[in-house]
């Protein structure tokens, strides 16, 4: 079901208000990389489990482009389970009976955190394209402000896949002293030309939609849902492997026995992508999509170290576990290996495993026992090393 745009916007606001949020940047604003100061901004987040008395069991989960802060349990807007429900929960791999998990909706997101669809307090109008261009580092700085607000000095772990992994790398580079362990999954230390190219197709699809209105669709009472759906369809292909797509759909036809000699969704794969596109626009803001993909494109951790990635990690004491998936062609293993080589060259403590999987980039969200075994081993080993023995919640 696609809601009319105005109704959808209202729904988004109402639902996000139901979640947890902090107003940050009240005393000192957040200085964005583009030079703009962001003051009194809202950061929506969810927590799972309880913080122990030593405040040593906090894990920051960083979500990917289309994710949000609802990692487990029922999502208040979609009614579906959280995006990492398989991994996060009581007795699960990231056990909420042991760890205190925090996940923020990223800066520029559309699930309650300040972003282009929110009101600009300076003009009392919707930000739209007046929202400053944000970066991965800005997202991480905002998360660090939230940790200050929650009075958590040091994270036991920062973990995330895809763009979440970029945030993890940025965390390690910017706040190494606040991080015991870092787990960047299916990610890269920079966006490649191919990554940027796919993002650009998505952005162009949105901006080519006449309902986009130069980014002012909320004021115009429209929603560029067709453009956003196409962006999602293109991106979704990059999240799957050729093999998984072939196995899942092949050339099978959708609810018909023969081709129709027309442009209806004859093939199952077409129908599937259309469904992916249309459900996405129900929960995602088109301008947010522009801003977040831009942040990913701008990400290049080596850039501020004269192109030497290793310099971003010099003298770091954080323990790393870098994980890639064999069939991921969006952030292929070679990108993870690049990170590992940089960490090796400063003698950082790093584990690295490439998981054999046909599930492509999305493997980190799916049932992958091999991945889970490696992650569980790393987490347990690190918990032992960092003396995380008192895992009983404070209350």
Partner 1 sequence: MRVIRLDLQLIADMVEPGSRVLDVGCGDGSLLDYLLHEKNVDGRGIELSMDGVNACVSQGLSVIQGDADTDLFDYPDHAFDYVILSQTLQATMAPREVLENLLRIGKRAIVSFPNFGYWRVRASLTMLGRMPRTKSLPHEWYNTPNIHFCTIRDFVRLCGNLGISIEKNLALKHTGSDMFTGPGFCFANLMGEHAMFLLKRNTS
- For the annotated catalytic residues, the residue numbers are 162, 328, 361
Measure CA of the first residue to CA of the last residue in the chain; give whole Å.
Answer: 43
> Given the complex with partner 1, which of 303 and 356 has the nearer CB atom?
356
Distance CA 209, CA 201 (A): 13
**Residue 355 touches partner 1, criterion: CB under 8 A:** yes
**Residue 381 touches partner 1, criterion: CB under 8 A:** yes
Binder among 345, 386, 391, 393 for partner 1 (CB under 8 A): 345
The residues with which 79 forms a beta bridge, in sequence order, are none
**Residue 370 touches partner 1, criterion: CB under 8 A:** yes
Query: Minimum Å distance from CB 57 to partner 1?
Result: 17
**Residue 350 touches partner 1, criterion: CB under 8 A:** yes
**Residue 368 touches partner 1, criterion: CB under 8 A:** no
In sequence order, which ranges of the chain are alpha helices (DSSP H)? 5-18, 136-149, 163-174, 193-208, 217-220, 225-239, 242-249, 268-283, 286-298, 333-345, 369-385
> Given the complex with partner 1, which of 286 and 342 has the nearer CB atom?
342
Strand 88-89 with 30-31, pairing: unpaired
Distance CA 293, CA 199 (A): 6
> Given the complex with partner 1, which of 219 and 380 has the nearer CB atom?
380
> Given the complex with partner 1, which of 100 and 371 has the nearer CB atom?
371
Binder among 30, 290, 321, 388 for partner 1 (CB under 8 A): 321
Query: Minimum Å distance from CB 182 to partner 1?
Result: 13
Query: Minimum Å distance from CB 387 to partner 1?
Result: 14
Backbone angles phi, psi at 124, to 5 degrees: 55, 20
Please calculate the CA angle 111-115-121 and round it to the nearest 5 degrees: 120
**Residue 364 touches partner 1, criterion: CB under 8 A:** no
Q: Cα 218 to chain center, whole Å?
A: 24
Q: Which residues bind partner 1 (CB under 8 A)?
A: 319, 321-322, 340-342, 344-347, 349-356, 370, 373-374, 376-378, 380-382, 384-385
């Amino acid at each position: 079901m696609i809601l009319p745009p105005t109704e959808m916007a209202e729904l988004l606001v109402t639902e996000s208000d139901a979640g947890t949020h902090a107003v940050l940047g009240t005393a000192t604003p957040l200085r964005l990389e583009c030079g703009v100061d962001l003051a009194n901004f809202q950061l929506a987040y969810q927590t799972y489990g309880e913080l122990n008395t030593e405040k040593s069991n906090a894990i920051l989960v960083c979500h990917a482009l289309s994710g949000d802060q609802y990692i487990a349990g029922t999502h208040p807007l979609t009614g579906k389970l959280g995006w990492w429900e398989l991994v996060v929960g009581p007795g699960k791999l990231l056990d909420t009976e042991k760890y205190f998990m925090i996940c923020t909706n990223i800066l520029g997101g559309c699930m309650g955190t300040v972003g282009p669809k929110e009101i600009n307090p300076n003009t009392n109008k919707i930000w739209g394209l007046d929202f400053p261009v944000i970066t991965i580092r800005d997202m991480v700085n905002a998360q660090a402000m939230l940790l200050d607000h929650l009075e958590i000095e040091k994270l036991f772990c920062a973990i995330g896949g895809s763009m979440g992994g970029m945030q993890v790398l940025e965390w390690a580079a910017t706040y190494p002293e606040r991080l015991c362990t870092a787990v960047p999954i299916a990610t890269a230390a920079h966006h490649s030309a191919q990554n940027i190219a796919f993002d650009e197709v998505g952005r162009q699809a949105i901006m080519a939609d006449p309902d986009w209105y130069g980014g002012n669709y909320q004021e115009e009472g429209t929603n560029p849902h067709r453009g956003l759906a196409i962006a999602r369809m293109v991106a979704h292909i990059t999240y799957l492997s050729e093999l998984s797509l072939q196995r899942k759909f092949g050339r099978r036809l959708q609810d018909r026995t023969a081709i129709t000699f027309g442009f209806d969704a004859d093939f199952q794969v077409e129908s599937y992508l259309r469904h992916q596109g249309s459900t996405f626009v129900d929960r995602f803001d088109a301008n947010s999509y522009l801003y977040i993909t831009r942040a990913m494109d701008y990400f290049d951790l080596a850039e501020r170290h004269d192109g030497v990635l290793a310099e971003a990690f010099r003298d770091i004491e954080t323990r790393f576990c870098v994980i890639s998936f064999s069939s991921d062609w969006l952030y292929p293993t070679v990108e993870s290996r690049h990170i590992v080589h940089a960490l090796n060259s400063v003698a950082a403590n790093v584990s690295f495993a490439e998981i054999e999987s046909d599930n492509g980039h999305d493997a980190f969200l799916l049932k992958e026992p091999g991945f889970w075994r490696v992650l569980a081993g790393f987490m347990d080993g690190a918990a032992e090393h960092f003396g995380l023995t008192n895992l009983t919640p404070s209350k």
